[in-house]
Amino acid sequence: MIVTITLNPAIDIAYKVNHFRIGHGHRVERGRKTAGGKGLNVSRVLKRLGDSPVCTGFLGGINGKWIMDQLEHEGLDQTFIEIKDETRTCLAFLDEENGNQTELMEKGPFVSAEEQEEFEETLKQLMSEASLIIASGSLVSGIPVSYYREISEWAHAARIPILLDTSGEALEKGIEGKPFLIKPNKAELCKYMNQANLSIDELIAAAKNICAQGVRYVLLSLGKDGAILVGDDQILRAEIPTVPVVNAVGSGDSMVAGMAYGLQKKYSLEDCLKWACACGIANAMEWETGTIQPHAVQELLEKIQIKQEAKL
Amino acid sequence: MIVTITLNPAIDIAYKVNHFRIGHGHRVERGRKTAGGKGLNVSRVLKRLGDSPVCTGFLGGINGKWIMDQLEHEGLDQTFIEIKDETRTCLAFLDEENGNQTELMEKGPFVSAEEQEEFEETLKQLMSEASLIIASGSLVSGIPVSYYREISEWAHAARIPILLDTSGEALEKGIEGKPFLIKPNKAELCKYMNQANLSIDELIAAAKNICAQGVRYVLLSLGKDGAILVGDDQILRAEIPTVPVVNAVGSGDSMVAGMAYGLQKKYSLEDCLKWACACGIANAMEWETGTIQPHAVQELLEKIQIKQEAKL
């Protein structure tokens, strides 16, 4: 059983606004509401691959209730901790006239110490049955910035590999917990290294350095340039086919899902990387975030080349 | 008992967005949610004046539930018809840096024929106890554009005066039902007359013409220029003091509430007009929409001059 953790889910609402202008009023159709959050996307893709992940994290208020109903409707198993504060909303305004996308992201809710304790108990309970843990996305107000380190340590104690996909300080502290795998993209790894821009060789060196700190693998996603999987003893590079990109949002989450799927199936590391890339690309070919067509994944798997890079 | 009708309520959500820019992402604090709709504002002001109005109309889905809870929390009596479709959301983005306000208004829900029948029954039931009806705001999808005419006719049958505050085609058709009073502002009356701009004399002539069609009074609101009450047999003009305007949204609704309050108390027409203006101004002096300070209303009443205009 795979457990996905989403500490700070959101209701995502997307509006189509023609000729969106600051300082004006606009009559619009109802916004399209989805249950948002990186871990939820990971779960959706895993489900499409035939897995039955369990989602956990914090949900609160009327928004939290809506997300729970939505996940149930999607057939996703969930064990969220119900918090007093309200789960956030994120808004996106798409102007189809000129392709502009304007976004508003609400600050997340506050999670109390008691609610954190309840989460810890629930997660440890889930870990007693889980074979893999995936923790994705931002932290939430009230919990310590080192929370992903703590979660990683609980996973270590339960002897379960944990995949961490976050950024900024949450990633920095999370690495200290020595997760099994982290999945930064180029911008996130540059930010971690406190550099504006790094070459591929510099990125690999940074990843090696992270592995030296106890992280087993760094899965570096490079968008249309594929991905690199860096471990202590090897460096694998995935070259991917060019596809028509419809909506790349959620492709990183889909990569994590593909990687987890491969690991769960005990595939070779090369094949795990192939699955990660195939899921990432398949997601980019769909309008909906966190969606893949399994047949597209199968076709893509054959078009992805994995090369062993020279060790640095 | 006063009954207020809000066919198309909304959850209003106001966000403060610093330096709001199209095509960018913005991190924001949680939006301030309020139960919106003109009839709800009227009810709030009536309640502040010591009256106990009953609100009715259509509410649906999770948004409708939220509004019901909110009204209960505010201590407002309600008898809404629960519809299958979801009550709309309206968004406002306030950029405090430059004072810009950007708005998005969702299209309202669909109301089925069965839901309309249920509303008709409920409203007729309420009319058996009501002394005054107030119908405010836009119509909603699925109901005929002549709906305010029908409601006016039911009120006539029940021998209850009805105050109608709407605009466009809903007003045009509503007038055919000969409501007791309508409250257009200058822009609305100009639009009704299909004219870009009308002088005060032309506006009064238009109002007289509406009275000749069977509407007893036209309360014409003129913002900082006060108001004119036009009836078949007299024309009253209110001159109002200058006050610091904080937020004029809802002032029209507050005028309707003040007018209804005066009528309910059997005050003279002059005094009713004074109460209407005092409530409108008192609302403009507050941040919150549909709020008045009763002591401010009392002070304003003394500063409002009512003059009998020469008949046209």
ipTM: 0.78
Q: Which residues of chain A make contact with B89, given a CB cutoff of 8 A? A: 31
Decide: A56 and A83 in contact? Cβ < 8 Å.
Answer: no
| CATH of segment(s) A180-312 | 3.40.1190.20
Decide: A120 and A147 in contact? Cβ < 8 Å.
Answer: no
Decide: A53 and A46 in contact? Cβ < 8 Å.
Answer: yes
A168 touches chain B (CB under 8 A): no
Decide: B67 and B59 in contact? Cβ < 8 Å.
Answer: yes
Return the CATH fold of B2-7+37-86+108-308. Answer: UDP-N-acetylmuramoyl-L-alanine:D-glutamate ligase (3.40.1190)
Distance from CA of A88 to the nearest CA of B (A): 7
Q: Which residues of chain A have pLDDT under 70?
A: 311-312
- How many CB atoms lie under 10 A from the CB of residue A258? 31
What are the per-10-residue average pLDDT scores of chain B (312 residues)?
A: 97 93 93 94 97 98 94 97 96 88 93 98 97 96 96 97 97 98 96 95 96 97 95 94 89 97 97 98 92 96 93 60
B100 touches chain A (CB under 8 A): yes
Cα-based distances in Å from A75 to A55, B3, B116: 11, 44, 35
Rounded Cα distance, B147 and B150, in Å: 5
Query: Residue B312: what pLDDT?
Result: 54
B91 touches chain A (CB under 8 A): yes
**Do the bridges between strand B32-36 and strand B10-16 make them parallel or antiparallel, or are there none, so unpaired?**
antiparallel
Residue in chain B closest to A13 (alpha carbons) equals: B89
- How many CB atoms lie under 10 A from the CB of residue A29? 10
Tokens representing A222 are 């490079």
Q: What is the domain partition of chain A in residue ranges?
A: 1-8+36-87+106-169, 180-312
Tokens representing B213 are 């069609």
Decide: A9 and A59 in contact? Cβ < 8 Å.
Answer: yes
Half-sphere exposure of A66 (CA within 13 A, CB side): 22
pLDDT (tens digit, 9 = 90+) per residue, A227-274?
999 998 899 999 999 999 888 889 999 999 999 999 999 999 999 999
Mutate to test the interface with A, among B15, B101, B102, B107 (most CBs of A within 10 A): B102
The sign of the torsion formed by the CA atoms of A100, A9, B104, B111 equals: positive
Distance from CA of B238 to the nearest CA of A (A): 31
Return the CATH fold of A1-8+36-87+106-169. Answer: UDP-N-acetylmuramoyl-L-alanine:D-glutamate ligase (3.40.1190)
Tokens representing A202 are 């510099």
Select the residue of B21, B29, B107 nearest A107 (Cβ to Cβ): B29
Cα-based distances in Å from A177 to A173, A222, A231, B160, B221: 7, 25, 17, 72, 66
Q: Which residues of chain A make contact with B21, given a CB cutoff of 8 A? A: 22, 102
Instruction: Determine, for residues B24 and A103 on separate chains, whether the beta-carbon distance falls below 8 Å.
Output: yes
Catalytic, out of A12, A85, A165, A253: A253
Annotated catalytic, A253? yes
Look up residue B266 and give its DSSP letter.
T
A106 touches chain B (CB under 8 A): yes
Collapse the DSSP code of A211 into the 3-class scheme (helix H, G, I; strand E, B; otherwise coil) and give the result.
helix
Decide: A182 and A219 in contact? Cβ < 8 Å.
Answer: yes
pLDDT (tens digit, 9 = 90+) per residue, A283-299?
999 988 899 999 999 99
B141 touches chain A (CB under 8 A): no
Radius of gyration, alpha carbons of chain A: 19
Helices (H), A80-127: 113-127
B168 touches chain A (CB under 8 A): no
Decide: B39 and B5 in contact? Cβ < 8 Å.
Answer: yes
Amino acid at A149: R
Distance from CA of B67 to the nearest CA of A (A): 12
- Residue among A150, A143, A203, A202 at smallest CA distance from A179: A150
Query: Can A1-8+36-87+106-169 and A180-312 be said to share one CATH topology?
Result: yes
Query: Residue A264: what pLDDT?
Result: 97
